Chains A and B, each alone.
Chain A
Amino acid sequence: MCLGIPGKIISISDVEQQLGIVDVGGIQRVVNLSCINETDVELEQHIDSWVLVHVGFAMSVIDEAEAHATLKVLTELGEMQEELAAMQKGAS
């Protein structure tokens, strides 16, 4: 019920109704963009943005930098574990 899927905005199909075409895993669908539409931003500027789609509505623009940062923490954690393991080996 609460799940959503990432999709990429391909084009704007109706500016007045705030509708766009979003590609979700290869399937293209009309999606309502009014929840991600800030008043001073043209809808067109959202083309190529990744959004989270839930029951036909784009609910959030995915923040690329934050996605990278989340993964980076985990990469560094892995590197640290490897280093510790190597240190342990070296000491024995």
Chain B
Amino acid sequence: MKYVDEFRDPDKARTLLKEINQIAADLTDKLKRPVYIMEVCGGHTHSIFRYGIENMLPASIELIHGPGCPVCVLPMGRVDDCVAIAEQNNVIFTTFGDAMRVPGSKKSLLQSKADGADVRMVYSPLDALSIAKKNPDKEVVFFGLGFETTMPSTALTVLKAEEQGIHNFSLFCNHITIIPTIKAVLDSPGLQLDGFLGPGHVSMVIGNQPYDFIAEHYHRPVVVAGFEPLDILQSLWMVLKQLTAGEARIENQYNRIVPDNGNAQALKAISQVFELREFFEWRGLGSIDHSGVQLTEAYAAFDAEKKFIVPAVTIADPKSCQCGEVLKGAIKPWECKVFGKACTPEIPLGALMVSSEGACAAYYQFGGDRIDAIEVAEKTLEVIA
């Protein structure tokens, strides 16, 4: 596929790995420890595991899988709210597939569907709007979640609902914003982190300038990265080069997709429909100020939280869950006490085990034990070959 295959060229990957090995070795000599680089975005986590990139890298580089998987950071209480809305009479509850299996305190949306609720998977929020149009006597709710990448699509769908006067459509808004999230990571005590791979598709919406504070105040390099193997390797190489030169800048590896100023139309739609919440609750990370958005007063008629009575209760994660520590990079997934035991992709306890963008599910699938990991690495070299 165009713009995909070229970025999987194994020769170029080998070239990059050679450079990475060399620079990382020099750096660790100086630092007397591995170089820690965090990929913020769950999409990157997914690619890193899918292509076995972690296994290709030298031990001198440690990747920390950040909190950028919107499904993984959804707290139990919000899932309970989804179930409560879905189980009301006359409601069709629509959602992206990723969110179906996230555990709530009693059940997931998938279990609620099995119990008879009308829960439907959609590819696009516009599909939810079509369902609303076709079912005028039902209330159709779309479960909006995701970072700034997905926000414009939801915003434009709400605008369309208003324009077309489709009032049986509403949004259960769980969108979150990337900057407060990165800031929360950077401010967490005891953090060891040398640089970031910046989220490619969030940046195509918000541009690169919002990351300036990471370089200016926290003196960490950020390279906004694409999602193919070469994109990720090249971005790692760019971060390492900055570290070697003692620099901290915002660079854009993914400039075929990410314009420096982001997408004006998308940003306009977001600012028209959404406003910041005072705070938003994250699974494992607690409450983060201004990290979520809600519909503005002007669009209250499309707000499922106003249309329906939702429990809106904060529910603590099960005691045995260590999702928060994994999200902050404090422990590796397999170091969680329930990893692979009480918590598996089939019966997930924590959300990091649900989505293919979650670090725990990725490790469970691709890197559970060393033999598997090596096999995967060999296979992926074949795949990208």
Q: Which residues of A contact B (CB under 8 A)?
A: 1-4, 6, 8, 25, 32, 34-38, 50, 52, 54-57, 59-60, 62-64, 66-67, 69-71, 73-75, 77-78, 81
**Given contact pairs A54-B149, A70-B256, A2 touches B12 in the complex (Cβ within 8 A):** no
Q: Does B82 contact A (CB under 8 A)?
A: no
Contact of B124 among A34, A55, A74, A78 (CB under 8 A): A55
Contact of B15 among A66, A69, A77 (CB under 8 A): A77
Bound together, the chains give a CA A34 to CA B266 distance in angstroms of 8
Q: Which residues of B contact A (CB under 8 A)?
A: 1-4, 6-7, 9, 11-12, 15-16, 18-19, 41-43, 46, 68-71, 96, 98, 123-127, 145-147, 149-150, 152-153, 156, 199-202, 204-205, 227, 230, 234, 253, 255-259, 263, 265-266, 269, 355, 357
If A3-B46, A73-B234 are given as contacts, then 14 extra A-B residue pairs at C-beta distance below 8 Å, sorted by A number, are A4-B201, A25-B1, A32-B126, A32-B153, A34-B156, A35-B263, A52-B201, A55-B125, A55-B153, A63-B255, A63-B257, A66-B256, A67-B3, A75-B12
**Given contact pairs A54-B150, A57-B153, A81-B15, A66 touches B255 in the complex (Cβ within 8 A):** yes
Which residues on the A side are within 8 Å of B205 (C-beta)? 59
- Provide a sorted-by-A list of 24 A–B residue pairs whose CB atoms are within 8 angstroms: A1-B71, A2-B146, A2-B199, A2-B201, A6-B4, A8-B2, A32-B156, A34-B265, A35-B265, A35-B266, A36-B263, A50-B2, A50-B3, A52-B201, A55-B124, A56-B124, A62-B257, A70-B234, A71-B6, A74-B9, A74-B16, A74-B234, A78-B11, A78-B15
Bound together, the chains give a CA A71 to CA B126 distance in angstroms of 35
Q: Determine if B156 and A1 form an interchain contact, defined as CB atoms under 8 angstroms apart.
A: no
Q: Determine if B256 and A67 form an interchain contact, defined as CB atoms under 8 angstroms apart.
A: yes
Q: Determine if B150 and A74 form an interchain contact, defined as CB atoms under 8 angstroms apart.
A: no
Please give the distance in Å from B74's CB to the nearest CB on chain A: 11
Bound together, the chains give a CA A50 to CA B3 distance in angstroms of 9
Smallest Cβ-Cβ distance to B4: which chain A residue: A6
Which residues on the B side are within 8 Å of A34 (C-beta)? 156, 265, 269
Smallest Cβ-Cβ distance to B234: which chain A residue: A74
Please give the distance in Å from B3's CB to the nearest CB on chain A: 4
Q: Determine if B255 and A70 form an interchain contact, defined as CB atoms under 8 angstroms apart.
A: yes
Please give the distance in Å from A44's CB to the nearest CB on chain B: 18
Bound together, the chains give a CA A6 to CA B228 distance in angstroms of 12
Which residues on the A side are within 8 Å of B265 (C-beta)? 34-38
Q: Determine if B1 and A2 form an interchain contact, defined as CB atoms under 8 angstroms apart.
A: no
Q: Determine if A70 and B150 form an interchain contact, defined as CB atoms under 8 angstroms apart.
A: no
Bound together, the chains give a CA A24 to CA B265 distance in angstroms of 23
Bound together, the chains give a CA A31 to CA B266 distance in angstroms of 15
**Given contact pairs A59-B201, A59-B266, A74-B234, A1 touches B256 in the complex (Cβ within 8 A):** no
Q: Determine if B127 and A56 form an interchain contact, defined as CB atoms under 8 angstroms apart.
A: yes
Please give the distance in Å from B56's CB to the nearest CB on chain A: 16
Q: Determine if B230 and A55 form an interchain contact, defined as CB atoms under 8 angstroms apart.
A: no
Smallest Cβ-Cβ distance to B233: which chain A residue: A74
Bound together, the chains give a CA A75 to CA B16 distance in angstroms of 10
Bound together, the chains give a CA A58 to CA B71 distance in angstroms of 22
Please give the distance in Å from A34's CB to the nearest CB on chain B: 6
Q: Determine if A60 and B202 form an interchain contact, defined as CB atoms under 8 angstroms apart.
A: no
Which residues on the A side are within 8 Å of B3 (C-beta)? 6, 50, 62, 67
Contact of A60 among B12, B41, B123, B259 (CB under 8 A): B259
